[in-house]
Structure 1
Amino acid sequence: MSTTHEEATLATQEEMRAASLKELIDDHLYMPYPFLRNRHESEAVAGVDAWLHKWGLTDEPGVAAMIGYTRPAELASYNSPTVDSGILQIVADQIAYQFVFDDRAEEIGRQSPALLLPMLCESIAILRDGEPPRTPLGAALADLHRRVRERCTPAQAERWAWKSREYVHGLLYEAVAQAHPFPVGMGLCNSIRSLTAGVEPFYPLCESAGPCELTPEFLGDPVVQRLGRLSADAAVWIPDLFSAVKEQRTGGMINVALAHQRAHQASLPEAVLLAIRQINATIIEFESLHEEMKAELSAAGAGYVDGMVGWIRGCYYWSRTVPRYADTAVASAHPCGPFGLLYPAGRTA
């Protein structure tokens, strides 16, 4: 945290009234953005089901149930509340695809990272070279790539493909980290998580919803790039808070709360509070930078940054209710130990 915000309001264990981890998160996470949803959400839900069926992905054991637990169209609706139905459907389908791909990669990677190479190389070949797919997952990705090229400008589609390739590489890094005999440190965990988040491929889709293509000068501006990094980090770290119970149970390593738990030899509630402090600082920095440049933004630029806001907001409201993270509502928030916090002095939720 910056020197301006590094003083935290400490709370003793007795002052922590939260009974569950979910209540603990809700009590301390700084969320300045209100809940919103897209009016085309129900159409997107039906569209995701049809799209997964079309490409044979729900033929795989457990996929249909996983989609029911994760609700990808709901996440798309929450993080893209103002886009038209066409873009919303692409966003929802891509989220669903990434959920399937991520679970498959985790299952295979736990056996050996090397076993991931065929599916990852197929994805890279599709995204980089336009190679024909060899598997149902590859066919679904090729369809997404085609639809993005149809909806976006060539430059936007190329940025989408580039960021999607980063996501693919991140899954290999995660598998290597999971297979390593010693846990990775906080820095490496954050670096890998920023790739496996898969948030940044959606920014060009948000841009395509605007009135015009953004200039390379705008996209390359250090402040805009910093906003993108802060948004992606906050958007993925927030679900990490809610998934920490599940990840701890299954031996997951790349999770911001579990990284704090390892680094500080803390209980899970203590680690969640430390992770919340990190997330709050990230959101506050994002807010501050956004406010500073608001007056200078064009309509297209404002919409682009609003898309980043959408991912922070959407991931929070989705994580609170999605069935996949239901364990958080019953996991105890005690003991909290000495790491109580949390808003920088003078701030409230």
Structure 2
Amino acid sequence: MPVSTLRDLIDTNLRMPFPFQRNPHEPEAATGVDAWLKVWGLTDDPDVAAMIARTRPAELACYTSPSMDAGLLQIVAHQIAYQFVFDDLAEDLGRHSPGRLLPLLCESVAILRDGRPPSTPLGAALADLHRQVRERCTPAQAARWAWQSREYVHGLLYEAVAQTHPFLPRTGDCTSIRSLTAGVEPFYPLYEAAQPREPTAAEVHHPVVRRLSRLSADAAVWTADLFSAVKEQRAGEMINIALAHQREHRCSLQTAVLLAIEEINGTIETFERLYDGIKPELSPAGVGYVEGMIGWIRGCYDWSRTVPRYADVTSVPAVP
């Protein structure tokens, strides 16, 4: 296969052992996302509406959640769309000063932790999303969703500090922040809820399953970083695993991408090894829960390589 662009380089070297799948309910999910964003006024801003069109949240939901029923898939799609709107706004505010983020982040934490009423349209959308999760999930699952969502909110403050700090973050700092800002793990309680029977607490909190959760989230978001690196480099962004390797090794973007791929491939191999070891101990519900994590690894790859948001990856040659 000829390798001419950076996307080709990624496709050739990234090891993706999981099969391609896609949820058949994508048309309904896309319609539902557009309506939900409109209800809360989030796409009244033409720039936000254009961002959603380039990002295709329902498509990402269908790649990452191929076997979900239509109702739960809609919640996943809403959450993806919300996080993209929230993340872009946080980046815009935090780029000037981390302090400007505080009202946005404090409102989110108050809604998620204390159930306080929202004061902004974005807060109202989050409160409605939280309601949807509570209606579909068990109290324990909803509590895990809210806790993981707060972790994501806090991560955005770390990102803003890194963006405005005079010292460039090293690869380890970048991956630590990225594990929070990825926003992947807040979806995992929904994969608990997707099972015909609830996974046991012992399964969900098993040290190996918890480790699988971290590995899968890292592999998923680092894969997206490969395809978004060109866009983020041009925008002056810092928190991207490929760009972190480029800064640390003072190398070309192409070489940095290969270094990041090596790290991702190792993460996926570790995930496979640990999963193979614990799978015989898991119930069908526990297996289904971990398969939801696999959906994010594969789904982020399929979505990232074709989504218009990251189309710049095809404008860079495979060879420096």
Q: TM-score scaled by structure 2?
A: 0.98
2:276 matched to which residue of 1? 291
1:173 matched to which residue of 2? 158
Secondary structure at 2:132's aligned position in 1?
Answer: helix
Alignment of 1:63-78 (within 5 A): 63-78=48-63
Is the Cα–Cα contact under 8 Å of residues 82 and 126 in structure 2 kept in the other structure?
Answer: yes
Is the Cα–Cα contact under 8 Å of residues 203 and 282 in structure 2 kept in the other structure?
Answer: no
Of the candidates 184, 202, 216, which is equivalent to residue 231 of structure 1? 216
Q: Tell me how far 1:298 sits from its aligned partner.
A: 0.5
Q: Tell me how far 1:215 sits from its aligned partner.
A: 2.5
Q: Tell me how far 1:136 sits from its aligned partner.
A: 0.4
Q: Tell me how far 1:17 sits from its aligned partner.
A: 5.2
Is the Cα–Cα contact under 8 Å of residues 200 and 286 in structure 2 kept in the other structure?
Answer: no
Is the Cα–Cα contact under 8 Å of residues 204 and 286 in structure 2 kept in the other structure?
Answer: no
> Which of the two has greater helix per residue?
2
**What amino acid does structure 2 have at the position aligned with 1:312?**
I
2:194 matched to which residue of 1? 209
Is the Cα–Cα contact under 8 Å of residues 225 and 241 in structure 2 kept in the other structure?
Answer: yes
Of the candidates 119, 123, 126, which is equivalent to residue 134 of structure 1? 119
1:112 matched to which residue of 2? 97
Secondary structure at 2:299's aligned position in 1?
Answer: helix
Alignment of 1:178-189 (within 5 A): 178-189=163-174
CA distance in 2, matches of 1:332, 1:79: 29
CA distance in 2, matches of 1:103, 1:326: 18
CA distance in 1, matches of 2:269, 2:314: 26
**What amino acid does structure 2 have at the position aligned with 1:221?**
H
CA distance in 2, matches of 1:220, 1:80: 22
Question: 284-293 vs 176-185, which deviates more?
Answer: 284-293
Of the candidates 30, 46, 54, which is equivalent to residue 45 of structure 1? 30
Secondary structure at 1:214's aligned position in 2?
Answer: coil
CA distance in 1, matches of 2:197, 2:170: 42
Of the candidates 244, 247, 252, which is equivalent to residue 259 of structure 1? 244
CA distance in 2, matches of 1:80, 1:72: 12
Secondary structure at 1:321's aligned position in 2?
Answer: coil
1:315 matched to which residue of 2? 300
Structure 1 runs (4+) greater than 4 angstroms displaced: none
**What amino acid does structure 2 have at the position aligned with 1:97?**
Y
Per-residue CA deviation, residues 20-68 of structure 1 (Å, 9 max, x unaligned), is: 1000000000001121111111100000000000000001230111011
Per-residue CA deviation, residues 315-344 of structure 1 (Å, 9 max, x unaligned), is: 000001100111111211113xxxxxxxxx
% identical equivalent positions? 71
2:261 matched to which residue of 1? 276
**What amino acid does structure 1 have at the position aligned with 2:10?**
I
**What amino acid does structure 1 have at the position aligned with 2:262?**
R
Count matched residues.
Answer: 320
2:19 matched to which residue of 1? 34
- 2:181 counterpart of 1:196: yes
Task: Answer 1 or 2: higher relative contact order, Cα 8 Å, separation at least 6.
Answer: 1
Per-residue CA deviation, residues 239-293 of structure 1 (Å, 9 max, x unaligned), is: 1000000111011000000000011001000000000000000011111111122
Of the candidates 64, 73, 81, which is equivalent to residue 79 of structure 1? 64
2:106 matched to which residue of 1? 121
Is the Cα–Cα contact under 8 Å of residues 199 and 283 in structure 2 kept in the other structure?
Answer: no
Larger radius of gyration: 1
- 2:97 counterpart of 1:102: no
**What amino acid does structure 2 have at the position aligned with 1:314?**
G
CA distance in 2, matches of 1:325, 1:261: 19
CA RMSD of aligned residues (A): 1.0
The runs of 5 or more residues in structure 2 that have no matched partner are none
Is the Cα–Cα contact under 8 Å of residues 199 and 285 in structure 2 kept in the other structure?
Answer: yes
Secondary structure at 2:43's aligned position in 1?
Answer: helix
Of the candidates 30, 45, 56, which is equivalent to residue 60 of structure 1? 45
Question: 55-64 vs 270-279, which deviates more?
Answer: 55-64
1:7 matched to which residue of 2? none
Of the candidates 231, 253, 270, which is equivalent to residue 246 of structure 1? 231
Secondary structure at 2:76's aligned position in 1?
Answer: helix
2:7 matched to which residue of 1? 22
CA distance in 1, matches of 2:51, 2:20: 24
Per-residue CA deviation, residues 53-107 of structure 1 (Å, 9 max, x unaligned), is: 0000001230111011000000000000001001000000000000000000000
CA distance in 1, matches of 2:69, 2:205: 27
1:222 matched to which residue of 2? 207
CA distance in 2, matches of 1:51, 1:93: 7
